[in-house]
């Protein structure tokens, strides 16, 4: 079992992790980034990206993450393709164990493990991912201008997605498995007032339908949760909006979480409740969840880690002199 030490260890390789690495490497901190189980994060399952600044034409999500990875490496980041499976944040240096058996110790830590959209678990859902199935209206809604879409869910996320899509699509059908929504009343009022939105109650998606070359979604088959009756409706896109699950399993018993399970950070900061540990991107951001905001938080985390290291080194030098 080998042990490797870094001034800064970054866990996660989405926009937050790579941006933190770029800033830290340029500050001569020599960061190590552990890429995790899905290098590149959620953008690797995204096709066209039109809302990341700096690109006049649509770009591919995997390509964007590949460029961020190369940029991080070019400025001096060491990238390790491994997965952290155990973390001890009780004292500094922090101690983290990887799936390979390697132990990483670090003076500071940036947690950028992201979040995963919750999916329905249908095989057809996976088949049409990026070909009509999405979990992010603000990412992909633009492609459904003047088209018909289905939103699945009944909480704040689903209602907000439906309202957003109503500005773009010709018709939005919200499918909910119960007979009432769980979202805030003010959101429900807006939803029910919108003439472009229809709600189908007591129903769940039984199958996502499609075909063609290239393949594309053409409809959904719904199953009534009370009667079991099936019905098919045509649609151009399906947005799954049943929430996100932040990847906090390694840390949830050691750190303070928000009520919804995301890592808690100080206001206008990436500082967590453990000094020297910073959180950036979707693992802490339960509001925006965009690549560009994740990248911004990665920048913040690196700058705050750099400041923490500088202050700690001064303290250590004073203690040594005494």
- Two tokens, residue 186: 């003010």
**CA–CA distance, 224 with 227 (Å, rounded to integer):** 6
140 is catalytic: yes
- Please report which helix (H) or strand (E) contains residue 240, including its range: strand 237-240
CB 79 within 8 A of CB 73: yes
Query: Count of H helices and E strands in the chain?
Result: 7, 19
| CA–CA gap between residue 226 and residue 291 (Å, rounded) | 40
From the list 107, 140, 206, 286, the catalytic residue is: 140
Q: What is 19-50 written as a DSSP string?
A: HHHHHHHHTT---EEE--SSTTGGGGG--EE-
Dmax of the chain from CA atoms?
Answer: 79
Nearest to 28 by CA among 7, 5, 4: 7
136 part of the active site:
yes
Q: Is the previous residue joined to 86 through a cis bond, with omega within 30 degrees of 0?
A: no
Does the annotation mark 107 as catalytic? no
Distance separating alpha carbons of residues 31 and 20, to the nearest angstrom: 9
Q: How far is Cα 79 from Cα 66, in angstroms, rounded to an integer? A: 12
Handedness of CA 308, 310, 315, 320 (dihedral sign): positive
Active-site residue among 136, 236, 282, 286? 136
User: Any idea of the CA torsion for 59, 64, 67, 72, to the nearest 10 degrees?
Assistant: 150
Contacts of residues 120-127 at CB distance under 8 Å and 24 or more positions apart, as own/partner, are 120/152, 120/204, 120/205, 120/240, 120/242, 122/205, 122/207, 122/208, 124/207, 124/208, 124/209, 124/210, 125/208, 125/238, 125/240, 127/208, 127/210, 127/215
Question: Which residues are the active-site residues?
Answer: 136, 139-140
């Amino acid at each position: 079992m080998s042990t490797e030490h870094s001034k800064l260890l970054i866990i996660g390789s989405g926009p937050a992790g790579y941006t933190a690495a770029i800033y830290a490497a340029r500050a001569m901190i020599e960061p190590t980034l552990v890429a995790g189980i899905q290098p590149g994060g959620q953008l690797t399952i995204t096709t066209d990206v039109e809302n990341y600044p700096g690109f006049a034409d649509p770009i591919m999500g995997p390509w964007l993450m590949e460029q961020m990875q190369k940029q991080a490496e070019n400025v001096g980041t060491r990238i390790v393709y491994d997965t952290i499976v155990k973390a001890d944040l009780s004292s500094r240096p922090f101690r983290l164990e990887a799936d390979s058996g390697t132990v990483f110790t670090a003076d500071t830590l940036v947690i950028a493990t992201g979040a995963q959209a919750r999916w329905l678990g249908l095989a057809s859902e996976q088949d049409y991912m990026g070909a009509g199935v999405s979990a992010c209206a603000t990412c992909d809604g633009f492609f459904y201008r003047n088209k018909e879409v289905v939103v699945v869910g009944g909480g704040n996320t689903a209602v907000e997605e439906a309202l957003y899509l109503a500005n773009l699509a010709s018709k939005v059908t919200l499918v909910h498995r119960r007979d009432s929504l769980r979202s805030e009343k003010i959101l429900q009022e807006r939803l029910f007032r919108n003439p472009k939105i229809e709600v189908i109650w007591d129903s769940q998606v039984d199958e996502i339908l499609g075909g063609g070359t290239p393949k594309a979604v053409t409809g959904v088959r719904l199953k009534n949760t009370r009667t079991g009756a099936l019905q098919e409706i045509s649609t151009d896109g399906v947005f799954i909006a049943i929430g996100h699950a932040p990847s906090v399993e390694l840390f949830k018993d050691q750190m303070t979480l928000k009520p919804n399970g995301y890592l808690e950070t100080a206001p206008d900061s990436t500082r967590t409740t453990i000094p020297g540990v910073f959180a950036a991107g979707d693992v802490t951001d339960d509001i925006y969840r965009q690549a560009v905001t994740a990248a911004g938080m990665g920048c913040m985390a690196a700058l705050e880690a750099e400041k923490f290291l500088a202050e700690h080194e001064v303290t250590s030098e004073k203690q040594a002199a005494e």
